[in-house]
Amino acid sequence: MRIQATRIEQLDRKFPGLRQAVDLLLDGGATLDGVQALVKERTGETVPNQTLSAYKQKRWLIARLRLKDLKETFQAVKEELGANAISESTQARLLELIDQAMRAGAALDPHFLLKEQRLWAVHTANLEKIETEKKRLELQIEQSRQALKEATDEAKEKASSGEQLTAADIDRIRERALGLPPKQEAVPMSLGHRNFPRNPELKTADVPMPNADKLLAEMSEEERQRRSR
Amino acid sequence: MKKKTPEVRDIERGEILRFLVEFYPDAVTPKMLLYHLDDAALSVSEEALRFHIVYLTQKGFATFELAPKVVGEETEIRSVKVTPAGVDFVDRRKKGEVGIRL
């Protein structure tokens, strides 16, 4: 749609600054007669009040209302967010986003905007948490690497001095560098998990078997003899 | 492209100041100023706008905040706002007038 220029806009092309001067007068609450006098003084042309009124309604007032709307929406969002919570440049960016949305013709629903803003704040907070966790893990990895280096250096020193590396040394390395428990010898099945860790004093015969008598009673004579052999 | 006269540049700066006063004490972004100047049939390039902002700042009529410096790139202006001196100028106060009356 082609927008037809008003007389003030046409004159503004020939006399730069005329539109600005008219707007300033209207901002100050001047009457159309006052505006007419100014235009006459600047251009020498007597513009009828009806033409001036058309400019006032179609251009000046529309711009004023848009600005008013923009400022009110911005203030509402700012109050909701807490003005002190965001920096000046972030506030300016927020104002720009509202302005762009209004220019794009969006039926701006402050509640929708506030919801979006809150979601944005939540995402930012989550991102910060992830970053902190990442830093913590990196630090942990670095500490482990350092401990592993120290433990292996120590083992290397011991080995190069002619000493034998013992299982206890390996356990110490595992524990210091990787935080792992000492390495256990495999537990014989006959001892069962209840005797873990292995007790060297313990013999298979010592392992308690609560159902032994019952089992023996149920066993046939032949089987009993075979087993005793 | 036709070179702008100093008078037109003065008008552009006046329009920038007028827009900043609308949002006093809040700041606006340079992009908003570009849009506003377009609306007022006073379109300027980003470089020209930067020039005007720095000019107004050095005259004491505005202040601006810069984005963190990126090596090899020109520092970006994040936000601009008018100073009380700028408000006085738009209100056409004469030199020496404090803007308060008892």
3-state secondary structure of B66: strand
Of B67, B84, B85, B80, nearest in space to B28 by CA: B80
- The dihedral region occupied by B41, where left means phi > 0, alpha psi between -120 and 50, and beta the remainder, is left
Question: In this model, does residue A92 exceed pLDDT 80?
Answer: yes
3-state secondary structure of B96: coil
Contacts of A96 in chain B (CB under 8 A): 28-29, 31-32
CA distance A3 to chain B (A): 12
H helices of chain A, in order, are: 7-14, 18-27, 32-43, 49-55, 61-81, 88-103, 110-160, 167-173, 212-218, 221-228
pLDDT tier, B13 (very low <50, low <70, confident <90, very high otherwise): very high
In this prediction the ipTM stands at: 0.84
Q: Which of A155-164, A178-187, B3-12, B51-60 has maximum average pLDDT? A: B51-60
pLDDT, tens digit, 9 for 90 and up, residues A7-31: 888 888 888 889 999 998 998 888 9
Per-residue burial over A163-174, b = 16 or more CB atoms within 10 Å of its CB, e = otherwise: eeeeeebeeebb
Between these two residues, A227 and A77, which has the higher pLDDT value?
A77
Of B87, B98, B40, nearest in space to B62 by CA: B87
Q: Inter-chain contact B11–A63, Cβ cutoff 8 Å?
A: no
Q: Inter-chain contact B41–A9, Cβ cutoff 8 Å?
A: yes
Give the C-alpha separation, A3 to A227, whole Å: 110
User: Looking at the partner chain, which of B22, B29, B40 has a beta carbon nearest the beta carbon of A19?
Assistant: B40
Between these two residues, A157 and A84, which has the higher pLDDT value?
A157
What is the number of alpha carbons within 13 Å of residue A166 lying toward its C-beta? Answer: 4
Q: Inter-chain contact B79–A88, Cβ cutoff 8 Å?
A: yes
* Percentage of chain A modeled with pLDDT above 90: 17
Give the C-alpha separation, A132 to A123, whole Å: 14
Q: Write out the two tokens for B4.
A: 């702008």
Q: Write out the two tokens for A167.
A: 């299982």
pLDDT, tens digit, 9 for 90 and up, residues B21-53: 999 999 999 999 999 999 888 889 999 999 999
Is the torsion defined by CA of A102, A107, A112, A114 positive or negative? Answer: positive
Give the C-alpha separation, B32 to A102, whole Å: 12
Give the C-alpha separation, A88 to B27, whole Å: 7
pLDDT tier, A2 (very low <50, low <70, confident <90, very high otherwise): low
Give the C-alpha separation, A158 to A155, whole Å: 5
Q: What is the pLDDT of residue B37?
A: 92
pLDDT, tens digit, 9 for 90 and up, residues B48-80: 999 999 999 999 999 999 888 777 777 889 999
Q: Inter-chain contact B79–A17, Cβ cutoff 8 Å?
A: no
User: Looking at the partner chain, which of A12, A24, A89 has a beta carbon nearest the beta carbon of B27?
Assistant: A89
pLDDT, tens digit, 9 for 90 and up, residues A197-211: 555 555 555 556 666
Question: In this model, does residue A195 exceed pLDDT 60?
Answer: no
Q: What is the pLDDT of residue A180?
A: 73
Whether residue B67 contacts residue B73, with contact meaning beta carbons closer than 8 Å, is answered with no
Average pLDDT for residues A108-123, to the nearest whole number?
73
